[in-house]
Amino acid sequence: MNVPFEYQRDERLAYHLAWERQMARVEAIAAREAPNLFWLLEHDPIYTLGRSASPADILATTIPTRVTDRGGKVTYHGPGQLVGYVLRDLRPAIHAARAHVIKLEETVIRALAGLGVEARRESDNPGVWVAGEKIAALGVRIRHGVAYHGFSINRAPDLDAFAGIVPCGLAGRGVTSLEKLGSPVPRAELEARLVASFQEVFEAEWRE
C-alpha cells in the first residue's frame, strides 16, 4: 500500500525557521489536514543540541548554538550538508519509533550504495557509518503521533566545524563526507538518489 507524501526542497533555510515550519506541519498532519512530508534542504552553520545533549559537548563557540527538541545529542549543520526532514503520521502504531529510525537509515544507506559508497548502521549508535566514521546523523521526535526531524548527510560540508563539538556525544569517533571519501557529487545528484531510495523504503506516493 502506497503512503501519501508531499515532496519539498529548499536551497538553504535558517534552522529556527525550518523548525517553525515543521511544527506547523506536524499540527496539520495530526489534524489530517495535510499529507506526510519529505523535505530536503540545507542550513546556515549551527550547532544543535538534542534532548540528550550535554553543554560539555560544545568545545568552541565560534558557531551559533540552539537547543532543539529532537532526540540525540549535539551535531553540526551547515552548507554542503543535505538535511532530510521526514514528517510522518505513525498512528495508530505510534510505538514504531525504532522502525521509523531504521527506515531513515535505510534510505541513506541505499542512496549511498547508488553512489558506490558502502555504508552501514550500528545497533547502538543511530546514524549511518562508513569505515567507522559517521556520514549521516539522525534525530527524531514524535508529537501527536507524528514523527518529525530526520537525517543529515555530509555531502561536502566544512568538516573542521565538527572539531568544535563532540559529535553525537561520541568522543573519539570520526566524521566523514562524500567529498572526503573521494566521491564528490553535486547536490542535485544526491537529492535524486535520496528521493528514489525514500520512495522505495517508505513506499511513498507523491501528493500535491
Residues taking part in catalysis: 168
Alpha carbon distance 11, 38 (integer Å): 15
Alpha carbon distance 186, 203 (integer Å): 26
- Per DSSP, helices labelled H in the chain are 15-30, 97-113, 187-202
**Strand segments (E) across the chain:** 3-9, 36-41, 46-49, 65-67, 74-77, 81-89, 120-122, 125-130, 133-143, 146-154, 204-206
What does the block give as the cell for 118? 558502502
Alpha carbon distance 83, 70 (integer Å): 14
For 45, half-sphere exposure in the C-beta direction (CA atoms, 13 angstrom radius) is 11
- Per DSSP, helices labelled H in 81-151 are 97-113
